[in-house]
């Protein structure tokens, strides 16, 4: 039995990649493609069980209210959720018969696993650093994902009772030791030709462990989105972060 899927924001670049991904999956059935400004009623009429929303912060709340109330589950990659909006979505999902919601800042399965493994590994190593690599047109440094990864490592170190990392540096050029994110150095490399890559380097006596994630093109979020579509029926209410779906 296949799952009936609707795609909102279907005509954008990301939406097109999801449409292709759903069409290529034998267990998923694409029943609705909705573009900007088009009527959402089609997802109800075509009996979509799950919708995928990669639209705009300005439209996503309306989309979610409509779908949740119709009992349709929502896999959401649109950005711009603050605490207040999350609370509102959670309230909607609490109603009887309401649709479930997954909101994730990053659907690239390799990036999500890098963060999860980094948090798991952190307590076993004396040192941890993050190096991320992106194309030189990127506006922020370090990337949000790298900052998030470093914060997770820092929290895991703290929970395990680890103190500050050893670092004997006395003589240094400004910036050489990277940005300090909760005590974890984070380095941002900008290289023409690269897309989005992250490396977490842990060190202990006589050894190191490196977890590296490479995104080669924009379609890298597709497998994670499809994973969300397949599992959302088992996760009532609001869930934030794909890692909660992974059954590790």
Distance CA 113, CA 246 (A): 9
Which residues are documented as binding site? Answer: 9-14, 33, 36, 77-79, 104-107, 135, 144-145
Q: Cβ closer to a copy of itself: 19 or 109?
A: 109
- The only residue of 54, 215, 228, 232 in contact with a copy of itself, by rule CB under 8 A: 215
First to last CA, the chain: 25
- The CB-of-56 to a copy of itself minimum distance in angstroms stands at 21
CB atoms within 10 A of CB 123: 14
- Interface with a copy of itself includes 162 (CB under 8 A)? no
Helix or strand (DSSP H, E) at 208: strand 207-215
Residue where the block lists tokens 């650093």: 129
Using the rule CB under 8 A, give the single segment among 54-62, 79-87, 98-106, 171-179 that binds a copy of itself: 171-179
- The only residue of 44, 61, 162, 195 in contact with a copy of itself, by rule CB under 8 A: 195
Using the rule CB under 8 A, give the single segment among 25-33, 45-53, 83-91, 197-205 that binds a copy of itself: 197-205
4-27 core/surface letters (b: 16 or more CB in 10 A; e: else): bbbbbbbebebbbbbbebbeebee
Distance CA 144, CA 202 (A): 20
- The CB-of-27 to a copy of itself minimum distance in angstroms stands at 12
Supply 143's token pair: 């990337």
Which residues are documented as binding site for NADP(+)? Answer: 36
- The only residue of 167, 233, 237, 244 in contact with a copy of itself, by rule CB under 8 A: 167
- Interface with a copy of itself includes 27 (CB under 8 A)? no
- The only residue of 42, 61, 86, 141 in contact with a copy of itself, by rule CB under 8 A: 141
* Residues in region 71-130 near a copy of itself by CB under 8 A: 108-111, 113-114, 117, 120-121, 124-127, 129
DSSP track, 220-243: GGHHHHHHHHHHGGGS-SEEESGG
Distance CA 223, CA 208 (A): 30
Distance CA 106, CA 93 (A): 22
Asked whether the beta carbons of 167 and 206 are under 8 A apart, the reply is: no
Q: Cβ closer to a copy of itself: 63 or 143?
A: 143
- The only residue of 191, 233, 237, 244 in contact with a copy of itself, by rule CB under 8 A: 191
């Amino acid at each position: 039995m296949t799952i009936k899927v609707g795609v909102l924001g279907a005509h954008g670049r990301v939406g097109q990649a999801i449409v292709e991904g759903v069409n290529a999956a034998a267990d998923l059935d694409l029943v609705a493609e909705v573009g900007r400004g088009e009527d959402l009623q089609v997802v109800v009429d075509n009996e979509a069980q799950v919708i995928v929303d990669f639209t705009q912060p300005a439209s996503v709340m309306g989309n979610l209210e409509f779908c949740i109330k119709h009992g349709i589950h929502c896999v959401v990659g649109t950005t711009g959720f603050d605490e207040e909006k999350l609370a509102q979505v959670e309230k909607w999902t609490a109603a009887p018969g309401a649709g479930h919601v997954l909101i994730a800042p990053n659907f690239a399965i390799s990036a999500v696993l890098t963060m999860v493994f980094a948090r798991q590994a952190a307590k076993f190593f004396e040192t941890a650093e993050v190096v991320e690599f992106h194309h030189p047109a990127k506006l922020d440094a370090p990337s949000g994902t790298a900052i998030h990864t470093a914060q997770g490592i820092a929290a895991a170190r703290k929970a395990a009772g680890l103190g500050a990392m050893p670092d004997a540096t006395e003589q240094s050029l400004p910036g050489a030791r990277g940005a300090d994110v909760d005590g974890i150095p984070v380095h941002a490399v900008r290289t023409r030709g690269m897309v989005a890559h992250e490396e977490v380097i842990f060190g202990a006596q006589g050894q190191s462990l490196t977890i590296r994630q490479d995104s080669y093109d924009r379609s890298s979020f597709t497998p994670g989105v499809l994973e969300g579509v397949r599992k959302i029926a088992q996760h009532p209410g609001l869930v934030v972060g794909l890692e909660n779906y992974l059954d590790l």
